[in-house]
Structure 1
Amino acid sequence: MMDHAHDLAAVRDATERLLTAVGKLDNASVTEPSRLPGWSRGHVLAHLARNADALVNVLEGRPMYASGEVRDADIERDAPRPLDVHLADLRESAARFQAAGAVPADWSRTVALRNGVTDSASRVPFRRWVEVELHHVDLGIGYELEDLPAEFAERETAFLAERFTGHPDVPPVRLTDGTRAWSTGREADTPAVTVTGSGADLLGWLAGRRDGAGLTVTGGPLPALPPL
């Protein structure tokens, strides 16, 4: 069972780490490319702020975004802003998300996300935690997958493995870091492929942040994963 209060606290801590790191940048570095194709660091920061507000909408029963086009336009509009404006927006939007999470509510209720996806309200804080941690890595400013909190990394690996479970385009796969193991892909009596590597490399591959070059694969080639 998800502990939304625990995850809200984790989001707060992750956001503070992000703000501290971003606060060391300057206006020029915000315009430089991030690790996400076609996005500057400013795009990533703008997305993080708007995502916080979008998840407030989810918790309060409104559509997450007015439309995909509006979401994209808002990010493009906000990306070129100076560093101090990005920082203020990140802080203020994060505070709005925490305030929405503090309102007494039925956390077992089902909420609507993007593209027809639904989930338990109790998982929304974890989804925000994912956004903050992985996009911190995407900024390319010294925070790496190896720096992620151990609890977060294990939970996100399990979440992504579950996400691809039963996917018709992903063969049966067993993932292991030598201590823990996860299964994903199509159902089968015996996984056709075993993928072994560090926790960071496994998570990076599942999350589309690494190409799998650091992984060892037996039983076939490394599968191609669908976009998240």
Structure 2
Amino acid sequence: MTDHGEEEARARLRERQGSGARYDSPAAPARDLLWARRGTAYFARKLNELPDSALDAPSRVPGWSRRHVVAHVGYHARSLARLAEAARNGMAEEVLAEPENQIEDVEFGATLPAHALRYLFQHSEVHLNVEWRDLNETGWKASVRALNGELVPVARTPWLRAREIWLRALDLDNKGSPADFPPDFADALRTDGLAI
């Protein structure tokens, strides 16, 4: 399909979806978003293959069960969503709206019932995607100071998520393999200095 044909197909899809549908800004890092979203689908598949009882088994991370990995992935998405939300609202720093209710400790998260742990992953992934889709060009160009003091370019958040979600899918220790990674993403990981 030509670029012109793809544009026509997108226009028809948007027409069918209507005015309430959300789309990424043209300023968004499309390739990195694609990797993050595909990685999320891959992680979800590997997680959904596991029965609740298997979440107690060890992961590939020393000292962590699979529960820890799922909690970490959920909290990571929440943090990135807050960065995107801050940028969308023109704020220079990540904030916790209700800090006393935002217990994002992996050890605590690992104690959640299995259904709550799965919900944490699902909800945080949806929230992050909504924040990315609501960012305009100005938001994508912003940098936000994270709670840990690091200044994070918002345009880098999809790469940070892609990297984390694909590697953590392997950490679930559920027959995930780097051979499942998109080849261009695997190349980008190596360029970023990560061995897979």
Same fold (TM over 0.5): yes
Task: Note the C-alpha offset of 1:80.
Answer: 2.7
Match in the other structure for 1:148 = 181
CA spacing shift, 1:82–1:25, aligned 2, 3 Å: farther
Give the direction of change, closer, same or farther, for the CA distance of 1:73–1:90 in structure 2 (3 Å limit). Answer: closer
**Match in the other structure for 1:104:** 135
1:83 offset after TM fit, Å?
Answer: 3.2
Give identity over the alignment, percent. Answer: 27
Question: 1:156 and 1:118, CA in 2 relative to 1: closer, same or farther beyond 3 A?
Answer: farther
Distance 1:45 1:64 in 2: 23
Q: 1:144 deviation in Å? A: 1.8
- Cα distance change of structure 1 residues 64 and 76 upon mapping to structure 2, 3 Å threshold: farther
Distance in 2, Cα, partners of 1:99 & 1:39: 30
* 1:45 counterpart residue number: 70
Give matches, 1:17-56, under 5 Å.
17-56=42-81
Q: Which runs of 5+ in 1 are unaligned?
A: 161-201, 205-228
Gaps of 5+ in 2: 1-26, 87-92
Asked if 1 retains the 8 angstrom alpha-carbon contact of 2:72 and 2:106, the reply is: yes
Contact 1:54 1:64 in 2 (8 A): no
Shift of 1:148: 1.8
Inter-partner Cα distance in structure 2 for 1:92 and 1:3: 22
* Distance in 1, Cα, partners of 2:35 & 2:179: 17
- The residue aligned with 1:194 is none
**C-alpha RMSD of the superposition:** 2.5
1: distance between equivalents of 2:43 and 2:106?
A: 18
Residue 116 of structure 2 is aligned to residue 116 of structure 1: no
Asked if the contact 1:35/1:138 (under 8 Å) is kept, the reply is yes
Deviation of 1:102 after TM superposition, in Å, equals 0.7
**Helix, strand or coil: the match of 1:142?**
coil
Task: Count residues with an aligned counterpart.
Answer: 159
RCO higher in structure (CA 8 A, sep ≥6): 2
Displaced runs of 4 or more, over 6 A:
none
Q: Find the partner of 1:10 among 24, 27, 35.
A: 35
- Which is richer in helix? 2
Shift of 1:25: 0.8
For 2:108, what is the secondary structure of its paired residue? Answer: helix
Counterpart code for 1:76? E
Whether the 8 Å CA contact 1:31–1:80 is kept in 2: the answer is no
| Distance of 2:57 and 2:171 partners within structure 1 | 12
Give the Å deviation of 1:17: 1.6
Q: Deviations over 1:16-48 (max 9, x none)?
A: 121122111122210111111111100000010
Q: 1:24 to 1:64 in 2, by over 3 A?
A: farther
The 1:104/1:81 distance shift into structure 2, 3 A limit, reads closer
Indicate the SS of the match to 2:195.
helix
- Secondary structure in structure 2 of the residue aligned to 1:152: helix
In the superposition, relative to structure 1, how do residues 143 and 72 fare at CA in structure 2: closer, same or farther (>3 Å)?
farther
Q: Give the TM-score, by structure 2 length.
A: 0.71
Residue 103 of structure 1 aligns to which amino acid in structure 2? Answer: D
Where 2:175 maps in the other structure, the secondary structure is: coil
| Match among 49, 53, 58 for residue 83 of structure 2 | 58
What residue in structure 2 maps to residue 130 of structure 1?
163
